[in-house]
Chain A
Amino acid sequence: MDNEIPLPPPPRIRHRAPNTPTVPSSLHKTYHQLSRFDDRSSQPSSDPALFSSDDIPASGLENYHAPAVSGCRKRRYRGTWWGEMVKDTKRKRVDFKDKRLVDSGVWMGSDDSGVDSLLPSEDASIWGEELLHHSTVGRVGDVVPGEIAAGAQQRVVFKKVEESREHQLARAIVNDCLEKGQDSVDLSIGGLQQIPQGLLRPLQHLTKLPTVKEAPISEDVYSSLRPFLRMFLAGNSLSDVPGDLFDLDALRVLSLRNNRLTEIPPAIRKLTMLQEVNLAVNELRFLPWELLWLIKKGDLKHLTVRPNPLWRIDEAEITHWFSLDGAPATSPEEALTLHTYEGPAPEEAWAPIHVATGPVRLFNMEGVMVDAPPTNTNESRVPSLREVSLLAFTQSPFSDLVSDTDMANCPGLVPSLLRQARAVRNGGGRCCTVCHRSFVIARAEWIEWWDCSVYENGLKGPRSSGEKLRPLPFRRLGCSWACVPDASV
């Protein structure tokens, strides 16, 4: 006995028999199935109640003395108050057998079309299974009935995309670190080709767990819970660094050794706490200028970049050589040798030394290199409208929603610009090395050669007197044609 009060069903399907007797046979069949299906809905099996107070116009008090319409009997209604319908005298009560619920689950259809799509096949032996299948699909997809009502025709089935084994492993490691408060994240598991988006983000909030010791508690039990975050991504097959990594502003040690990186994004500048970086055994030809900024203005003490196929200064094109005090050097040999000193090492034996600067390459508004820039002396720093809108695109929340096909429909060079903007965004953004404005398309690019040998060996000792310098190429990007090497800000 079902004592539950039946809930109002969705907008009703007519139960009455079709009033046109001449129904095509095929349509009739559909109708038959339809009503049969509907009978399995949550209708109470007992006779519905009849009340004299039912709102029937003809039976009202004001019509008490009104002459009865010829042969009109009082209309009788059956069903619940929300779904009452005129009783059809010709229709018999449905047999209990026909009314039995095959599936007592929740009614998910809403209108005829929905019922149609849910209708079981002709074969009576398997229709129960098919119904069961439909309902389970609905449940797996976590679709609420309202959604089905909205899009009854397009049944949405969500499939879970299977993650690769490496990603699962990486996720497990990150979760483990978060749970145990471990600030050394070792993802050097090998075979990681890219880092799934959002994997590293929770590490921003990693906190160390306090160590619980038995009494007596001494002073040194109390230690900082701020993590000394270390990230090891060595020995994978990463071809680009995920932008997420640069949001971990507490990162102190970063190892990207033995990967397939061709470029380090300039967004590395955001990691201002960084103390040690290992970029050895990659495919780097130059370093971002921001790394040098971290050495000079940040906390970076140990930079490991060799071996890498870095550009060599004796093969590169150089426009300006600099001596130690910043003045132009007369010969490359002078620039490449540290002057001799006696006694304690002077300050410049420790600091990074600017050795040379390469030629400046300029790009037009579309990011295409121009060979002969116009000889206009006062270049404007105003970003182009393309640049302004691309920057707004990278900062807008829906930049991921623009699909590749939408991009391909755009005219001219717009698709390539959008792809470039997306790459810049995924790499964590770019910032002009001269005026510090955020930008997407670089308008100027040049190489500066700096010797950082002291930092390469981890600040163990100063350069020796008269030592030959081994400068590293650092690429600088400018956001406008005015942001060039000797520009003043």
Chain B
Amino acid sequence: MPSLPAFRLSIARHFSSSTSNLTSSQSHTHGNNHGIHPGSSEYVTLVSGDGFEFIVPRSTACVSGTIRRMLDPSSRFSEAVTGRCVLENMSGLVLEKVCEYLCYNLKNKNQTNVPDMDIPPELCLELLMAADYLDT
């Protein structure tokens, strides 16, 4: 198939042109795109071992001590540069609950009467190990 490389090239070109457009004018509407301002974007992507991606606010993700150290700009980790944390040892199911917890923690930070969070019993052991890893 001789036409394929040309086709690919056109896509790549299309993408590069649109990205340059975004950075110049439309960055405020696409602020959750982590690819634009990697170091300082207000959203980061958490990726589970089986490939699920969760885009969460940076402040939410930084509730976890491990993720906070990963994303620390002064650390020069690749996660800090790309704004993308791959958590190989967590399944999408667990990471979803973890993200729910991170939001729950941030939301109730200054509350005196904190509501209970619902944890399905079959997930509690995996969540415990995730918590041990994430230092939350």
Residues of A bordering B, CB below 8 Å: 365, 378, 380-386, 388-393, 395-398, 402, 410-414, 417-418, 435, 437, 488-489
Interface assignment of B88: CB less than 8 Å from any CB of chain A: no
Q: Do B129 and A410 have beta carbons less than 8 Å apart? A: yes
Known: A385-B101, A389-B119, A489-B112. A413 touches B125 (CB 8 A): no
Q: Do B109 and A380 have beta carbons less than 8 Å apart? A: yes
Task: Give the complex CA separation of A390 and B123 in angstroms.
Answer: 11
Cβ of B127 to closest chain A Cβ, rounded Å: 4
Q: Do B127 and A385 have beta carbons less than 8 Å apart? A: yes
Interface centre among B105, B111, B131, B133 (most CB of A within 10 A): B131
Instruction: List B contacts of A435 (CB < 8 A).
Output: 112-113
Cβ of A391 to closest chain B Cβ, rounded Å: 8
Q: Name 10 A/B residue pairs within 8 A (Cβ), A-sorted.
A: A378-B110, A381-B114, A382-B104, A382-B108, A382-B109, A385-B127, A385-B130, A385-B136, A392-B121, A393-B128
Q: Do B110 and A414 have beta carbons less than 8 Å apart? A: no
Task: Give the complex CA separation of A200 and B134 in angstroms.
Answer: 41
Task: Give the complex CA separation of A481 and B20 in angstroms.
Answer: 48
Nearest CB to that of B120 among chain A residues?
A392
Q: Do B128 and A417 have beta carbons less than 8 Å apart? A: yes
Cβ of A314 to closest chain B Cβ, rounded Å: 37
Interface centre among B109, B110, B119, B128 (most CB of A within 10 A): B128
Interface centre among B114, B124, B133, B136 (most CB of A within 10 A): B124
Cβ of B86 to closest chain A Cβ, rounded Å: 19
Partner among B109, B121, B130, B135 whose Cβ is within 8 Å of the Cβ of A395 = B121
Cβ of A120 to closest chain B Cβ, rounded Å: 46
Task: Give the complex CA separation of A402 and B110 in angstroms.
Answer: 36
Instruction: List B contacts of A396 (CB < 8 A).
Output: 121-122, 124
Interface assignment of B98: CB less than 8 Å from any CB of chain A: yes
Task: Give the complex CA separation of A410 and B119 in angstroms.
Answer: 20
Instruction: List A contacts of B131 (CB < 8 A).
Output: 384-386, 388-389
The interface residues of chain B, by DSSP majority, are classed as helix
Cβ of B106 to closest chain A Cβ, rounded Å: 9
Task: Give the complex CA separation of A395 and B117 in angstroms.
Answer: 13
Q: B interface, how many residues as a size bin?
A: 20 to 34
Task: Give the complex CA separation of A330 and B128 in angstroms.
Answer: 48
Q: Do B114 and A389 have beta carbons less than 8 Å apart? A: no
Q: Do B132 and A381 have beta carbons less than 8 Å apart? A: no
Nearest CB to that of B101 among chain A residues?
A385
Q: Do A414 and B129 have beta carbons less than 8 Å apart? A: yes
Known: A381-B114, A393-B125. A411 touches B132 (CB 8 A): yes
Known: A395-B121, A413-B132. A381 touches B111 (CB 8 A): yes
Cβ of B32 to closest chain A Cβ, rounded Å: 24
Cβ of B22 to closest chain A Cβ, rounded Å: 35
Task: Give the complex CA separation of A418 and B105 in angstroms.
Answer: 22
Task: Give the complex CA separation of A138 and B5 in angstroms.
Answer: 72
Instruction: List A contacts of B112 (CB < 8 A).
Output: 381, 435, 488-489
Cβ of B134 to closest chain A Cβ, rounded Å: 7
Cβ of A10 to closest chain B Cβ, rounded Å: 36
Task: Give the complex CA separation of A398 and B117 in angstroms.
Answer: 20
Task: Give the complex CA separation of A435 and B113 in angstroms.
Answer: 8
Task: Give the complex CA separation of A397 and B120 in angstroms.
Answer: 11
Nearest CB to that of B64 among chain A residues?
A385
Interface centre among A389, A390, A395, A398 (most CB of B within 10 A): A389
Task: Give the complex CA separation of A365 and B134 in angstroms.
Answer: 12
Cβ of A457 to closest chain B Cβ, rounded Å: 39
Q: Do A392 and B119 have beta carbons less than 8 Å apart? A: yes
Instruction: List B contacts of A412 (CB < 8 A).
Output: 129, 132-133
Instruction: List B contacts of A393 (CB < 8 A).
Output: 121, 124-125, 128
Instruction: List B contacts of A418 (CB < 8 A).
Output: 128
